[in-house]
């Protein structure tokens, strides 16, 4: 039986260990990526391992033990929960993702651990087969086979092993739509919306995004399902939470942000449908009517939801999501001279989803990458520049759901972006046709993969295509993963 | 899955877990009944923590399953509680929790927090309390739970089918995608460029494109990180109440549907009540101020809206609010005194009762001063409200009110001050007397006469001293009568002097004649009382500016009585000095 690891009791000791652990996570992030590019005898790789080894030694000396564990999507070091801020979000996200894919629940380092052990571990982790049915078993077997002695691997707890996280995410998405419909249409004047269920829903969305952000972002390619406003609100909710998480909002804030985004267009309940869905341009009076939906939505929220449970931000967002960064837009305030942070976040998500959705009144729409370019041109005027930049970085050069033509003649859908600067143009792509254009349920390929023979990239993107032009419903490919 | 046959070790373990959960149940019960510092509660928590720590040291973690009426361990029931009202398993089960986990590294503070959240949730109405929500938000590192999303299916879509698209997966692998010629052409060109680059003959992509990517997707700069941190910090520091009010007011400003105003009025009323209950008067005052502003804004633009806002203001500032506040307010525990007084200003004269109460009961001089300021404001528009506050039962306040009323020397208060003659409290009477003195009006002098019969000498003295420049014959006549009265001799020296002082300040010939008469009378035998009268008369004559007063003194200076003679001479000298001071010339 392993002796217990005592969490340090002194605050200073705790802080120092936490800092050390964060440094280790950052280092781990670098090593794993290096291990994917370089061979194990590469000097750079070895240098990284040596640095990590020093950190582990330090941890062992100071605390007597060194162990990483992952529980419910959270990383712990020696039972200290590791918290990440905006600055190191990427590193944590990457490492947690790696753990999750490998079904790795823990790494425990013995006092006798060597650099060789670390090299074996990193190589095995980096090259692990995540598509395998039992990735952890494969990993453990490989590690044992290579002689890993002083680092013990533990499998993720059964509760952390979602049978198919995509299935759960899709279920949550449509439960969200249904819940919105209930809120928008099903309530009588006297019956208040109970936010307890909405909060649970937001927690589930948060958990989904934590588990598989790329897939959940992919679900925002579902457009115009059942009722535009409902589908749009759900997409805005997801994109807002994803951006908020990236910015460093804590759990409670993210739930509030999600609720705010969820109800941002509540005011459209009072906007006549014929105006909302008018095919042509709106006249002045119709425009005036539609421009009332923000403050009418805010007022409606206050009346429909128990005030003590209603996040204040939800009122802000309903009111302000069409106010621009330069304070133009609508509505024009009487006295208020600031725009709430959540309003700025939702505004970005709202605009993005709206212009990438085909509508009867719009002669053209934008692909996701075109939308980002358009938004960047409005940075500072329409959108907060720093927040917009983070959103664009989150979405990537080729956002999830982008239809791309590859140099091989195949068509693919981007399913995961690559945040590494050197691989910005090389996301992971699901192949949806063969080289001759025949539709197929192809593999998911990593465009950063290099051909072993000629050392060139196996596949490269040569053009972004408009899926609507070819009758491709991008959302179907994501929904199919949940079947 | 059926549980396998338990070994001896398993049985020991189960017993330990059962004991832990029994203690947990006791701790929860105690927590629900008593405050967290209660010794019984602390003992249960210590016991629980000890047992849990011991268990976790040995086994690393404790994971129990949750069923409707039981806790289970690896499929076996370890503790059952069928009572739905107090059952701990049911408490977790009803919110969809399926497992509860404790992990090695559990801190006592976490356990405290866990029990606290159970207490808080169990005190909420069933439809509001959700232990899963609460625990998720608190995110204890070593107390975890599993609550599958299926639970949401019991809450959403009950009245209707859950929305879900139909998907034919096979269609994704059927058919072909024929690209349009223009796209094919662009692809062909790009592939060519790419091949050239592979062969080392050129760049992969448009350099401008790469530059843009570089710029846009560059690592977040330090400046940007600082900006984001600042945005987050500012968001966290928002005052909920202030922001809420600010938003509501903007909604009122923008709303143009009259039928929405009753609902808005209700919301404002709730906000207002909340502010009052929390004694956050500044908020309440801000609300009223802003509403007034908006009302004024629309007064010419949209009369209907202006009237609607006025009705909202009226609702919020109805009289019963003051009554309730008056009953509930402790004047000595107002943390937001400035706010309170700003707020009360909106009620105008209707708040006089409450303000008076505050003055009466507050020990803080600051509060009393502020209360008087408000009363002063009220007095400017409704003097009668102030007058009504002057009561025997409120001597201190009454004095202050009288002082306030007299500040403007408004003759309207004369009748009111006349009533105070009948009061018993001498301090209040003195305040009234001083107020009358400030008015310097003959009518005021007449009212002052009423105080001359007062039983309290200080009151009488005060009345006499405040009779300035008396010219009215009736008043003078009364003074002279008082001097002639047989009871004059019984008065104190101060009062006698004061009576003569009135005559001296009157500067009237009639008074001068009376004084001359006293001075001119020479008794046959030495008469101390007469001498006393003469001396008082001399004092009065000294004060007079009449020329005849000097003459009288000159006559008096010829008297054989040494005291009288000296006094007259001294008085003459004083008068001369005063004359030189005034005219620069020595009088004859």
Cα–Cα distance for residue pair B289/B307, rounded to 1 Å:
16
Adjacent-strand bridge partners of B511: none
Q: What's the rounded Cα separation, in Å, for the pair A228 and A365?
A: 15
Give the residue from B381, B378, B256 showing the smallest Cα distance to B306. B256
Q: Are strands B61-66 and A428-431 parallel, antiparallel or unpaired?
A: unpaired
Which residue among A79, A248, A469 sits closest to B104, beta carbon to beta carbon?
A79
Q: How far is A424 from chain B (nearest CA, A)?
A: 8
Size (chain A), residues = 483
Vertex B249 angle, CA B243 and B253, to 5°:
145
Facing residue for B155 by CB, picked from A181, A197, A396: A197
pLDDT at position A2, please? 43
- A vs B: CB pairs below 8 A: 250
- Cβ-defined contact of A437 to B157 (cutoff 8 Å): no
Residue B497 main-chain phi, psi, to 5 deg: -60, -40
Dihedral sign for Cα B557, B562, B563, B567, please. positive
What is the spatial distance between Cα A348 and Cα A317, in angstroms, rounded to a whole number? 12
C-alpha angle B578/B580/B584, rounded to 5°?
145
- Please report residues of B whose CB lies closer than 8 A to that of A376: 216
pLDDT tens across A396-447, in order?
Answer: 999 999 999 999 999 999 999 987 777 888 999 999 999 999 999 999 998 9
Contact yes or no for B78/B17 (Cβ under 8 A)? yes
pTM: predicted TM-score of the whole model, two decimal places: 0.80
Torsion sign, CA atoms A195, A201, A207, A209: negative
| Pair A413, A474: CB distance under 8 Å | yes
- Mean pLDDT for A189-198 is 69
CA dist B188 and B181 (Å) reads 10
Average pLDDT, chain A: 88
> How far is the C-alpha of A425 from the C-alpha of A20, rounded, in Å?
33
Contact A182 B156 (CB under 8 A): yes
The CA distance from A269 to A307, in Å, is 20
Q: For B232, which of A4, A249, A336 is closest by C-beta distance?
A: A249
Task: Measure the CA–CA gap between B434 and B442, rounded to whole angstroms.
Answer: 14
What confidence score (pLDDT) does residue B102 get?
94
Contact B460, B428 (CB under 8 A): no
Indicate which of B125, B193, B196, B217 best probes the interface with A, i.e. most A CBs within 10 Å of its own CB: B217
Which of A156, A407, A459 to probe by mutation at the B interface, max B CB count within 10 Å?
A407
- How far apart CA A174 and CA A169 sit, in angstroms, is 9
Find the residue in A nearest to B137 (Cα).
A252
pLDDT at A3: 44
- Which pLDDT belongs to residue A190? 42
Q: Is A35 or A129 the better-scoring residue by pLDDT?
A: A35
DSSP assignment letter at B87:
-
pLDDT at A4 over 50: no
In chain B, which stretches have pLDDT less than 50?
Answer: 1-2, 588
**Tokens encoding B216:** 């846009």
Q: If phi over 0 gives left and psi between -120 and 50 gives alpha, with beta otherwise, what is residue B9?
A: alpha
Interface contact B525, partner A, CB < 8 A: no
Facing B130 at nearest CB: one of A81, A196, A331:
A196
CB < 8 Å from B in window 190-219 of A: 194, 196-197, 199-201, 203-204
Determine whether the interchain pair A463/B183 forms a contact, defined as Cβ–Cβ distance below 8 Å.
yes
Q: Searching chain A, which residue's CA lies closest to the CA of residue B153?
A: A175
Residue A97 has pLDDT above 90, yes or no: no
When scoring B125, B167, B297 by the number of chain A Cβ atoms within 10 A, the one with the most, hence best to mutate, is B167
Interface of B with A in 213-252 (CB under 8 A): 213, 216-220, 224-225, 227-229, 231-232, 234-236, 238, 240, 243-244, 246-251
Is residue A213 over pLDDT 50? yes
Contact (CB<8Å) B175/A439: yes
Q: What angle do CA A379, A384, A388 make, to 5 degrees?
A: 70
Q: Closest Cα of chain B to A461: distance in Å?
A: 9
Q: For residue B187, which residues of chain A lie inside 8 Å, CB to CB?
A: 405, 462-463
Alpha-carbon distance A322 to nearest alpha carbon in chain B (angstroms): 15
Q: What is the DSSP letter of A127?
A: T
Instruction: Please name the residues in contact with B334: beta carbons below 8 A apart, sequence gap of 6 or more.
Output: B279, B281, B340, B358, B362, B367
Residue B133 C-beta-side C-alpha neighbours within 13 Å: 22
Question: Shortest Cα distance from A39 to chain B (angstroms)?
Answer: 23
Q: Does B165 touch chain A (CB under 8 A)?
A: yes
pLDDT score, position B206: 65
Which residues in B lie closer than 8 A to residue A244 (C-beta atoms)?
none
Helix (H) or strand (E) run with residue A337 in it: none
Contacts 24+ apart (CB under 8 A), A442-445: A442/A410, A442/A412, A444/A415, A445/A412
Are B251 and A393 inside 8 Å of each other by CB? Answer: no
Cβ-based contacts of A322 with chain B (< 8 Å): none
Confidence band, pLDDT 50/70/90 cuts, at residue A466: very high
CB B115 within 8 A of CB B28: yes
B207 CB neighbours in chain A (<8 A) are none
B positions 34-53 inside 8 Å of A (CB): none
- Examine the pLDDT at A188 and tell me if it is beyond 50: no
Which residue, chain included where needed, has tokens 């329409």? Answer: A382
Work out the minimum CA distance from B424 to partner chain A, whole angstroms: 55
- pLDDT over 70 at A130, yes or no: no
CA gap A481, A269 in Å, rounded: 34
User: Which residues between 377 and 416 in chain A have a beta carbon less than 8 angstroms from any beta carbon of chain B?
Assistant: 386-387, 389-390, 392-393, 396-397, 405, 407, 411
Token pair 């505004």 is found at A347
Rounded Cα distance between A366 and A353, Å, is: 10
Residue B91: half-sphere exposure toward Cβ, Cα within 13 Å: 23
Q: Does A295 touch chain B (CB under 8 A)?
A: yes
d(CA B462, CA B402): 15
Identify the weakest region by mean pLDDT among A27-36, A243-252, B67-76.
Answer: A27-36
What are phi and psi for residue A7, nearest 5 degrees? -70, 140
Residue among B137, B176, B246 whose CB faces A252 most closely: B137
Q: Provide mean pLDDT across the span A206-214.
A: 90
What is the pLDDT, as a whole number, of residue B352?
A: 87
The verdict on B177 touching A (C-beta cutoff 8 Å) is: yes
Rg over CA atoms, chain A:
24
Test B177 with A480 for CB contact under 8 angstroms.
no
Query: Do residue A71 and residue B144 have CB atoms under 8 angstroms apart?
Result: yes
Q: What whole-number distance in Å separates Cα of residue A332 and Cα of residue A326?
A: 12
Residue in chain A nearest B253 by alpha carbon: A334
Say whether B159 and A182 touch across the interface (CB within 8 A): yes
Q: CA nearest B215: which of A463, A421, A294?
A: A421
Q: CB-hemisphere CA count at 13 Å for A432?
A: 30
Backbone conformation region of residue A226, classed left if phi is above 0, alpha if psi is from -120 to 50, else beta = left
A63, A86, A302, A420: best to mutate for the B interface, most B CBs within 10 A: A302
> pLDDT tens-digit profile of A273-314?
889 888 888 999 999 999 999 999 999 888 877 767 789 999
Tell me the β-bridge partners of A429.
A414, A445
Phi then psi for residue A413, to 5 deg, are: -115, 130
In terms of DSSP bridges, do strands B61-66 and B70-73 run parallel, antiparallel, or are they unpaired?
A: antiparallel
Q: Are B30 and B41 in contact (CB under 8 A)?
A: yes
What is the structure's pLDDT at A189?
Answer: 39
The residue of chain B with its CA nearest to that of A330 is: B254
pLDDT digits (tens, 9 = 90+) for B215-268: 778 888 899 999 999 999 999 999 888 898 899 899 999 998 888 888 888 888
Residue B96 to chain A, least CA–CA distance (Å): 10
Which of the residues A178, A228, A335 would you substitute to probe the B interface, choosing the one with the greatest number of B C-beta atoms within 10 Å?
A178
With beta carbons less than 8 A apart as the criterion, state whether A197 and A230 touch: no
């Amino acid at each position: 039986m392993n002796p217990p690891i005592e969490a340090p009791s002194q605050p200073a000791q705790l802080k120092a260990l936490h800092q050390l652990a964060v440094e280790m996570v950052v280092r781990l992030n670098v090593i794993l990526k290096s291990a994917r590019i370089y061979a194990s005898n590469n000097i750079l790789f070895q240098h990284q391992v040596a640095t990590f080894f020093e950190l582990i030694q330090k941890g062992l000396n100071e605390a007597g033990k060194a162990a990483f564990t992952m529980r419910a999507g959270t990383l712990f070091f020696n039972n200290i929960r590791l918290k990440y801020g905006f600055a190191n979000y990427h590193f944590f996200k990457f490492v947690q993702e790696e753990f999750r894919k490998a079904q790795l629940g823990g790494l425990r380092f013995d006092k006798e651990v060597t650099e060789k052990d670390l090299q074996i571990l990193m190589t095995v982790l980096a090259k692990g087969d995540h598509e395998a049915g039992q990735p952890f078993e494969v990993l453990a077997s490989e590690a044992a086979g290579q002689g890993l002695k002083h680092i013990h691997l533990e499998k993720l707890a059964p509760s952390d092993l979602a049978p198919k996280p995509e299935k759960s995410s899709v279920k949550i998405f449509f439960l969200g739509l249904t819940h919105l419909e209930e809120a928008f249409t099903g309530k009588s004047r006297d019956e208040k919306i109970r936010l307890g269920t909405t909060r649970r829903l937001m927690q589930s969305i948060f958990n989904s995004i934590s588990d598989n952000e790329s897939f959940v972002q992919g679900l925002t390619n579902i457009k115009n399902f059942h009722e535009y406003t409902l589908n749009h609100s759900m997409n805005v909710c997801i994109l807002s939470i994803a951006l908020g998480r990236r910015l460093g909002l804590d759990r409670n804030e993210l739930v509030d942000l999600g609720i705010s985004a969820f109800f941002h267009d509540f005011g459209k309940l009072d906007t006549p449908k014929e105006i909302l869905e008018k095919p042509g341009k709106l006249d002045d009076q119709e425009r005036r009517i539609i421009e009332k939906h923000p403050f009418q939505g805010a007022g409606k929220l206050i009346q429909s939801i128990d005030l003590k449970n209603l996040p204040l931000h939800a009122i802000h967002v309903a009111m302000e999501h069409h106010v621009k960064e330069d304070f133009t837009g609508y509505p024009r305030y009487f006295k208020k001279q600031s725009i709430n942070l959540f309003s700025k976040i939702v505004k970005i998500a709202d605009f993005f989803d709206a212009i990438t959705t085909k509508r009867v009144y719009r002669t053209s729409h934008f692909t996701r990458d075109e939308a980002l370019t358009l938004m960047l041109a409005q940075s500072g005027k329409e959108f907060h520049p720093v927040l917009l930049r983070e959103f664009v970085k989150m979405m990537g050069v080729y956002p999830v759901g982008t239809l791309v033509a590859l140099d091989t003649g195949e068509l693919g859908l981007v399913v995961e972006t690559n945040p590494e600067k050197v691989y910005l143009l090389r996301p992971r792509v699901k192949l949806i046709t063969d080289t001759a254009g025949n539709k197929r349920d192809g593999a998911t390929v990593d465009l950063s993969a290099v051909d072993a023979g000629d050392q060139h990239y196996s596949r490269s993107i040569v053009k972004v295509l408009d899926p609507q032009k070819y009758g491709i419903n991008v959302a179907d490919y994501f929904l199919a993963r949940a079947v | 899955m059926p549980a396998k046959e338990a070994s001896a070790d398993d049985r020991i373990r189960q017993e330990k877990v059962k004991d832990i959960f029994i203690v947990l149940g006791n701790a929860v019960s105690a927590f629900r009944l008593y405050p967290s510092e209660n010794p019984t509660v602390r003992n249960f928590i210590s016991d629980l923590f000890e047992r849990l720590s011991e268990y976790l040291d040995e086994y690393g973690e404790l994971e129990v399953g949750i069923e409707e009426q039981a806790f289970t361990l690896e499929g076996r029931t370890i503790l059952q509680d069928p009572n739905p009202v107090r059952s701990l398993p049911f408490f977790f089960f009803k919110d969809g929790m399926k497992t509860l986990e404790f992990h090695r590294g559990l801190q006592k503070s976490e356990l405290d927090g866990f029990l606290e959240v159970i207490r808080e949730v169990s005190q909420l109405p069933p439809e509001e309390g959700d232990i899963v929500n609460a625990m998720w938000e608190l995110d204890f590192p070593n107390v975890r739970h599993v609550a599958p999303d299926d639970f949401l299916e019991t809450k959403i879509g009950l009245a209707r089918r859950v929305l879900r698209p139909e998907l034919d997966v096979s269609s994704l692998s059927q058919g072909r995608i024929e690209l349009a010629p223009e796209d094919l052409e662009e692809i062909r060109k790009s592939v060519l460029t790419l091949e050239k680059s592979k062969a080392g003959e050129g760049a992969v992509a448009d350099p401008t494109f790469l530059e843009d990517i570089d710029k846009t997707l560059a690592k977040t700069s330090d400046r940007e990180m600082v900006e984001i941190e600042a945005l987050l910090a500012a968001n966290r520091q928002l005052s909920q109440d202030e922001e809420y009010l600010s938003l509501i007011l903007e909604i009122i400003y923008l709303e143009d549907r009259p039928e929405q105003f009753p609902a808005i009025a209700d919301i404002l009323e709730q906000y207002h009540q909340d502010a009052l209950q929390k004694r956050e008067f500044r908020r309440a005052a801000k609300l009223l101020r802003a509403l007034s502003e908006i009302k004024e804004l629309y007064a010419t633009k949209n009369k209907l809206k202006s009237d609607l806002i006025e009705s909202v203001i009226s609702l919020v500032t109805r009289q019963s609010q003051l009554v309730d506040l008056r009953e509930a307010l402790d004047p000595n525990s107002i943390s937001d005194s400035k706010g309170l007084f700003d707020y009360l200003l909106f009620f105008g004269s209707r708040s006089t009762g409450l303000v008076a109460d505050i003055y009466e009961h507050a020990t803080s001089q600051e509060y009393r001063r502020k209360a008087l300021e408000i009363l002063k404001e009220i007095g400017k528009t409704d003097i009668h409200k102030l007058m009504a506050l002057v009561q025997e039962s409120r001597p201190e306040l009454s004095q202050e009110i009288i002082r306030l009323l007299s500040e403007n020397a408004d003759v309207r208060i004369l009748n009111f001050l006349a009533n105070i003659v009948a009061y018993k409290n001498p301090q209040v009477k003195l305040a009234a007397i001083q107020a009358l003195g400030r008015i310097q009006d003959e009518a005021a002098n007449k009212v002052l006469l009423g105080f001359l019969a007062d039983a309290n000498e200080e009151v009488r003295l005060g009345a006499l001293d405040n009779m300035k420049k008396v010219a009215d014959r009736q008043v003078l006549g009364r003074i002279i009568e008082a001097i002639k009265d047989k009871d004059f001799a019984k008065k104190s020296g101060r009062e006698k002097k004061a009576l003569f002082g009135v005559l001296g300040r009157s500067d009237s010939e009639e008074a001068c004649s009376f004084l001359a008469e006293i001075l001119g009378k020479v008794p046959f035998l030495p008469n101390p009382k007469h001498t006393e009268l003469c001396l008082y008369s001399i004092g009065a004559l000294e004060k007079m500016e009449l020329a005849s007063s000097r003459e009288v003194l000159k006559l008096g200076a010829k008297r054989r009585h040494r005291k009288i003679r000296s006094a007259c001479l001294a008085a003459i000298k004083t008068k001369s000095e005063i004359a030189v001071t005034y005219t620069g010339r020595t009088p004859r």
